[in-house]
Amino acid sequence: MARHEMTLRVFRILHYLEVSRYGLKVSEIHTRLDEDGFKVDIRTVYRDIELLQKVHIPLESEGSGDESRWKLIPFTEVRQSIQFTYHEIFALYVARKSLDHLRGTPIHSALESMFVKLEKVLGKRTEMFQELLGNLEFKPQMTWHTSVAPIVLDTVYSALEEGQQLRIVYRAEGGENAGESKERLVGPECLYFANGSVYLIAMDLSKNQPRTYALSRVLEAEMLTDREYNKQCPVSPKRTEMTQTNLTYSDGSRGGQISRNWTGSVA
């Protein structure tokens, strides 16, 4: 096999691991390579993983034997010196303050974790930035809908990142089925934050139609690691009023558009 083909294959394996939060078994990597046109035996996959380790790609395995799952170590370590101007650091503090409405979400928690590390490096110099922030005020925004279970949001994030189908248990809000919960199989397209709430835009795979799901009404979520999902309908949300958002789904294969007014009663 040509050397460049081996390089392409190894980089493809690295991509699989980058987007697979829970890792992959060697057999799963082998299957994905085969689907992408790389016809190699499973022993070659083991050798490719060894090569990634030799060039210091931070891999780890969980489990033993054929059931062990390989994944990238989930952190990035900056080793070289990076210099920031005071204006750049102050801009970060301004951005942090402007995102206070996300307080209580996993996103805000990750942001705060980053600032803890930054402030350890800056030491007492952070006092200057805090003092400058006292001269700025932001118009209060509606706070994020805190009734969303963190495990649900985390699972949805993972499915979006890895391109996998989701099985959700969803509680209806209106109509004759109000209050009832039903299991649904969906293909996640994107998350949309609006008016203090967060929504999952997804394809209802049983009807092959786009739907909008309020995450506050998703009681359970499971990522189906054995069922991949390729996004089908790019979403262009356009906010028109505080109480209404228009979502336009563009389906290139049908050459048309499906438009839906979104007023809070969804799916």
Give tens-digit pLDDT for 23-62: 899 999 999 999 888 889 999 999 999 988 887 788 888 8
Q: Which pLDDT score is estimated for 138?
A: 72
Q: Is the pLDDT of residue 94 over 90?
A: no
Q: Which pLDDT score is estimated for 184?
A: 94
Beta bridge pairs of residue 261? 246
- For 3-72, CATH gives 1.10.10.10
User: HSE on the CB side for 95, CA within 13 Å?
Assistant: 11
Q: Which of 158, 166, 160 is nearest to 231 (CA)?
A: 160
Q: Which of 91, 57, 51 is nearest to 71 (CA)?
A: 57
**Averaged pLDDT, 135-147:** 66
Fold adopted by 150-232: SH3 type barrels. (2.30.30)
CA distances from 239 to 14, 24, 29, 39, 245 (A): 38, 39, 41, 47, 5
Three-state SS for 29? helix
CB atoms within 10 A of CB 237: 16
Burial zone of 103 (CB within 10 Å; 0-12 exposed, 13-18 middle, 19+ buried): middle
Please tell me the pTM assigned to this model. 0.54
